[in-house]
Structure 1
Amino acid sequence: MREVPSRDDVRAGVVDAAARLLRDEGADGVTTRAVAQAAGVQAPTIYRLFGDKDGLLDAVAEHVMASYVASKTASAQDAGGDPVEGLRSGWRTHVDFGLANPELYGLMAARARSGPSPATAAGIEVLRTRVRRLAAAGLLRVDEQRALMMVHAAGHGTVLALLAQPEQDRDPALSEAMLDAVLGSVLADAPAAPGTSTTAIAVTFATAVPDLPGLTAAERALMTEWIDRALRTA
């Protein structure tokens, strides 16, 4: 007797088929009829699983982004050595992914108006890990959250700016120039040490607060609040 595929297997097959169509033909090519034919299912199955085309496109974007973020997470967890080079590597990976998946990246950007998807949020957390390494090394001249958002916004904007141009007209040096500009704004000249700026020292100290012994959770929260207030004032 032929085994009936599970709902999860059918859903995965539909998402995979839609992802191929999105990559090869763009969002306009991801019609219910085309996806159903490519996945070997009936059109009503797609509506039962995803509700409508937008639901299917959201599922496709989430699937591809989740796979990408998983690889970034493993890379960040295994990262050692120079934290600046770790951030540069993550930036380049992000830009390369966006340029290699223009339809998907544009789709994710459009969907972001209603809030980041779980995969996008996970990607930001990977970036936060890289920024935290910079902070712990005393290399930030701004607080962690400011550095995180500056790098995130610049990287996202760089991909969108490049995708808005025909491939043959893109400036191949733009990505690195943007990264250098952002790093020049967020990085201190040297690791924090006696005699360096109080801001860099405060940012570095903030990374150690969660591990300070002898403090209650409330005391750690209060100390973090004080440091954040001082950094905002600075």
Structure 2
Amino acid sequence: MSTRTRILEAAAELLAESPVADVSTRAVCEAAGVGAPALYRQFGDKEGLLSAVVDYGFEKYLAGKRAAKPSADPVQDMRDGWDAHVAFALENPSYYRLMYSPTVSGTPAAAVEAQQLLTAVVERVAAAGRLTTSVDAAAQMIMSANTGVALVLITRRELYTPDVSTRVRDAVHAAILVPEEDAVAGNGNGAASALSAQLRESPPDRLTSAEAGLLQEWLTRLTD
């Protein structure tokens, strides 16, 4: 393990154990078995260290997301993505708590990528005519609920039943998904959602950009 990785993992563990979500660079150095000059060479200062720990945690999370192969069923992929998110949190509680800590300033680029990867899956669900709302609204609902469940399970797991994640997942998905039989029949908001996804993927040549934008706005209003 490299010096940088030792420092990052030591910092994450100490932060997870801290009741005030803070840690001293001296404690990190002692836990990692390195001197202060090594830490400052790698990260500049304490704020740089904390930022790097967040990025490192997100990189571990994104490695699995990037490797996921789309299946023929985007709805199942969306379910699997939820379960993988919670599994990562349970397997890496120290990183996860820091990744979503209110003490972290700004939005890491990796967090933006995570949202984009989820949005891409939801876009496929919309194209299949299975979405009752806009892609952005659905992605926001999923990520916020998914993150909330993961956080309570790694901080207060004893208060919740083992199936709470599955039940919340299914409740959120039920709120944003068109039943499969309605999607097949072309009923409900799913048709507008599918047309909106098709418009984003392949804008018709006979429409100007302004016309396509106006149509997209109307479709988004219908789905939302």
Is 1:14–2:4 an aligned residue pair?
yes
Distance 1:22 1:195 in 2: 49
Is 1:227–2:220 an aligned residue pair?
no
The answer (yes or no) to whether the contact 2:25–2:36 under 8 Å persists in 1 is yes
Choose which of 68, 85, 92 in structure 1 pairs with 2:83.
92
Is 1:153–2:153 an aligned residue pair?
no
Q: TM-score, normalised by structure 1?
A: 0.79
Is 1:110–2:96 an aligned residue pair?
no
Choose which of 47, 59, 67 in structure 2 pairs with 1:66.
59
For residue 113 of structure 1, report the CA deviation from its aligned partner: 6.2
The answer (yes or no) to whether the contact 1:193–1:201 under 8 Å persists in 2 is no
Give aligned-pair identity as a percent. 32
Where do residues 121-140 of structure 1 align in structure 2 (5 Å cutoff)? Answer: 121-140=112-131
Cα deviation, 1:51-99, whole Å, max 9, x if unaligned, reads 3223212202211211320221220xx2212211111111001011112
Cα deviation, 1:147-205, whole Å, max 9, x if unaligned, reads 1111011101111222331x4443211100101110110000136356512x3212111
The answer (yes or no) to whether the contact 2:7–2:32 under 8 Å persists in 1 is yes
- Where does structure 2 lack aligned partners over 5 or more consecutive residues? none
The answer (yes or no) to whether the contact 1:192–1:204 under 8 Å persists in 2 is no
SS at match of 1:214: coil
Q: TM-score, normalised by structure 2?
A: 0.83
* Change over 3 Å in CA distance of 1:221–1:87 after alignment to 2: farther
Is 1:81–2:65 an aligned residue pair?
no
- Where does structure 1 lack aligned partners over 5 or more consecutive residues? 1-8
Query: RMSD across aligned C-alpha pairs, in angstroms?
Result: 2.8
Is 1:51–2:68 an aligned residue pair?
no
Distance 1:145 1:16 in 2: 38
Of residues 98-107 and 28-37 in structure 1, the stretch that sits farther from structure 2 once superposed is: 28-37
Of residues 88-97 and 50-59 in structure 1, the stretch that sits farther from structure 2 once superposed is: 50-59
Q: Which amino acid aligns with 1:183?
A: H
Distance 2:196 2:172 in 1: 22
* Change over 3 Å in CA distance of 1:63–1:164 after alignment to 2: closer
* Change over 3 Å in CA distance of 1:164–1:180 after alignment to 2: same
Of residues 52-61 and 143-152 in structure 1, the stretch that sits farther from structure 2 once superposed is: 52-61
Is 1:172–2:162 an aligned residue pair?
yes
